[in-house]
C-alpha cells in the first residue's frame, strides 16, 4: 500500500496488529511511524513502546511480542532492521524464522508490531508474503517529480493552502529540474507558505517569494531560457546567479539535467513516439513533457549530445580548478545558435 493510502487508514482509525514500513524515502517512513505511534499511544505513554535495532533476532521479537504488558494495555514493538527479509542460513536461523512466521499469523491481541527497513523488500520471499497477508505493508519509495502530485496535494491540504493552476504548474516544473527530490526539505520550505500569507489561494508570485532561496528556483528560469534558445535572457540570468553567489556546480547540475531530458525527448521524437509515451518513458507529468517537447523541437540531436559532453567536461574542470570564467557562457551560446 502506498504512503497516502496508509495514512488514510490511520485517519479512519483502521489499525492493524502488524506494520511493515519499507522504502528508501526516510521522510515518509518517519512521518508515517510518528502518525502511527500517535494513534496507538494517544496519551504518549512510552512505557508501552519497545524499541529494537539491528542487533535483535527473531527470538527477541517473538519474546517481546508474546510477553504480557505490565504497565499498559498493549505492547508496541518497534523494530528498525535493514536485514529483516534477507535470507537466513543455518537450521537454527531458519527455524526461528518459521516460528516468527507463526507469530505473525496469530499475533496476540495485546501487541502491535512495527517493522521499518530502508531497503526495497524482496516480494518473492515467503516471509514477505506472510507479512503482506496478515499485516499492512507501507511502501515509502523515493518520490520523483512525475509522481509527487499526491504528496503535494496532501501537503497543501495540511497547511490550508490551495495553489492556482499557474502556481502548481510552476512548482512541478521547478521540482522537475531537481536532481533529487528531498521531501523533508521541500516540506519545510512549503511550511513557510503558512507564515508568508493568510490567504488560502496561492499564486506563482507567492511561491517565487517563498522558495527564492532554493538554487533550483533561481536557476530554473535560466534553464528554461536555454531550452527556448533565448540566449540574451539566459546570459542575463546567468550573470544574476553569479552575483547572487550561486555555485557554478549547482547551475551546471540543473542545466545538465535539463539538456539531458531534452536530448532524450528529441531522440524519442525522432523515433516517432507520441507525447504521452514520451512523458511516461522519461518520467514526466504530461504538461511538463509537453513544454519540454516544444523546446526539444528547437534543437538538433547532435547539438544536445555535444552539450552533454561539454557539460561533463565543464564539471571536471570546475572540480579540478581548471575552469575559466566564460566556460558556461560559451556552452550556452553554442547551444542557442
Q: What is the pLDDT of residue 130?
A: 93
- In terms of phi and psi (left: phi > 0; alpha: psi -120 to 50; beta: otherwise), the region of 281 is alpha
Domain shared by 7 and 135, yes or no: yes
Who contacts 287 (Cβ-Cβ below 8 Å, separation ≥6)?
A: 169, 172
Q: Which three three-digit cell numbers place residue 255?
A: 542545466
Alpha-carbon span 66 to 17, nearest angstrom: 13
Domain shared by 115 and 28, yes or no: yes
86-93: Cβ within 8 A, 24+ apart: 87/125, 93/58
Q: Which three three-digit cell numbers place residue 246?
A: 550561486
Alpha-carbon span 125 to 128, nearest angstrom: 5
Domain shared by 323 and 246, yes or no: yes
Domain shared by 204 and 153, yes or no: yes
Domain shared by 112 and 158, yes or no: no
Structural domain range at position 331:
214-337
Q: What CATH number has the domain bearing residue 53?
A: 3.40.50.300
Tally the domains of the chain.
3
Domain shared by 78 and 176, yes or no: no
Domain shared by 337 and 310, yes or no: yes
Residue 80 DSSP SS3 = strand
DSSP string of 18-37?
A: EEEEESS-HHHHHHHHHHHH
Q: Which three three-digit cell numbers place residue 302?
A: 547532435
Alpha-carbon span 216 to 315, nearest angstrom: 17
CB 237 within 8 A of CB 202: no
Q: What is the pLDDT of residue 262?
A: 94
What pTM was estimated for this model as a whole?
0.64
Domain shared by 255 and 317, yes or no: yes
Q: What CATH number has the domain bearing residue 162?
A: 1.10.8
- Other Cβ atoms closer than 10 A to 234: 25
Domain shared by 121 and 51, yes or no: yes
CB 175 within 8 A of CB 58: no
Q: Is 329 exposed, middle or buried (0-12, 13-18, 19+ CB in 10 A)?
A: middle
Annotate 86-135 with three-state secondary structure.
Answer: CCCCCHHHHHHHHHHHHHHHCCCCCEEEEEEECCCCCCCCHHHHHHHHHC
Q: What is the pLDDT of residue 186?
A: 82
Q: Which of 169, 189, 212 finishes a domain? A: 212
Q: What CATH number has the domain bearing residue 248?
A: 1.20.272.10
Domain shared by 225 and 326, yes or no: yes
Q: What is the pLDDT of residue 213?
A: 63
Domain shared by 115 and 195, yes or no: no
Q: Which of 212, 228, 261 finishes a domain? A: 212
- Cα distances (Å, whole numbers) of residue 146 to 45, 143, 224, 261, 283: 40, 8, 18, 13, 6
Domain shared by 175 and 51, yes or no: no
User: What is the distance of C-alpha 335 from the center of its chain?
Assistant: 31
Would you write out the chain's pLDDT as a tens digit for each of its 337 residues?
888 788 888 888 888 999 999 988 888 898 899 999 999 888 777 778 899 887 788 889 999 999 988 777 888 999 987 777 776 667 887 888 889 999 999 999 999 999 999 888 788 888 889 999 999 999 887 777 777 887 888 889 888 999 999 999 888 887 877 666 678 878 888 888 888 888 999 998 998 888 766 666 667 788 888 999 999 989 988 888 888 788 888 888 888 988 999 999 999 999 999 998 998 888 887 878 888 999 999 999 999 999 999 999 999 998 888 877 788 899 999 988 8
Q: Cα angle vertex 229, ends 271, 247, to 5°? A: 105
User: What is the distance of C-alpha 23 from the center of its chain?
Assistant: 10
Amino acid at each position: 500500500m502506498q504512503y497516502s493510502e496508509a495514512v488514510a487508514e490511520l485517519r479512519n482509525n483502521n489499525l492493524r496488529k502488524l506494520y511493515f514500513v519499507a522504502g528508501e524515502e526516510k521522510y515518509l517512513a518517519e512521518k508515517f511511524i510518528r502518525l502511527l505511534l500517535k494513534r496507538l499511544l494517544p496519551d504518549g505513554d512510552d512505557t508501552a513502546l519497545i524499541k529494537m535495532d539491528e542487533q535483535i533476532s527473531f527470538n527477541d521479537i517473538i519474546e517481546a511480542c508474546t510477553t504480557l504488558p505490565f504497565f499498559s494495555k498493549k505492547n508496541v514493538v518497534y523494530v528498525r532492521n535493514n536485514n529483516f527479509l534477507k535470507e537466513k542460513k543455518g537450521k537454527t536461523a531458519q527455524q526461528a524464522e518459521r516460528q516468527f512466521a507463526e507469530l505473525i499469523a496469530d499475533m496476540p491481541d495485546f501487541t502491535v508490531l512495527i517493522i521499518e527497513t530502508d531497503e526495497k523488500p524482496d516480494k518473492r520471499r515467503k516471509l514477505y508474503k506472510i507479512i503482506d497477508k496478515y499485516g499492512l505493508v507501507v511502501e515509502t519509495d523515493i518520490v520523483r517529480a512525475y509522481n509527487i502530485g499526491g504528496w503535494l496535494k496532501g501537503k497543501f491540504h495540511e497547511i490550508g493552502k490551495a495553489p492556482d493552476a499557474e502556481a502548481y504548474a510552476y512548482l512541478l516544473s521547478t521540482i522537475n529540474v531537481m536532481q533529487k527530490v528531498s521531501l523533508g526539505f521541500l516540506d519545510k520550505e512549503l511550511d513557510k507558505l503558512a507564515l508568508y500569507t493568510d490567504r488560502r489561494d496561492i499564486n506563482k508570485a507567492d511561491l517565487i517569494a517563498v522558495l527564492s532561496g532554493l538554487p533550483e528556483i533561481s536557476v530554473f528560469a535560466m534553464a528554461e531560457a536555454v531550452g527556448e534558445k533565448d540566449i540574451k535572457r539566459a546570459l542575463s540570468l546567468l550573470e544574476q546567479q553569479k552575483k547572487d553567489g550561486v555555485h557554478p556546480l549547482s547551475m551546471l547540475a540543473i542545466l545538465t539535467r535539463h539538456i539531458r531530458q531534452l536530448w532524450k525527448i528529441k531522440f524519442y521524437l525522432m523515433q516517432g513516439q507520441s507525447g504521452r509515451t514520451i512523458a511516461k518513458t522519461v518520467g514526466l507529468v504530461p504538461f511538463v513533457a509537453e513544454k519540454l517537447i516544444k523546446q526539444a523541437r528547437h534543437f538538433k540531436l547532435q547539438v544536445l549530445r555535444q552539450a552533454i559532453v561539454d557539460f561533463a567536461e565543464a564539471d571536471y574542470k570546475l572540480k579540478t580548478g581548471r575552469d575559466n570564467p566564460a566556460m558556461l557562457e560559451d556552452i550556452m551560446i553554442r547551444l542557442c545558435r
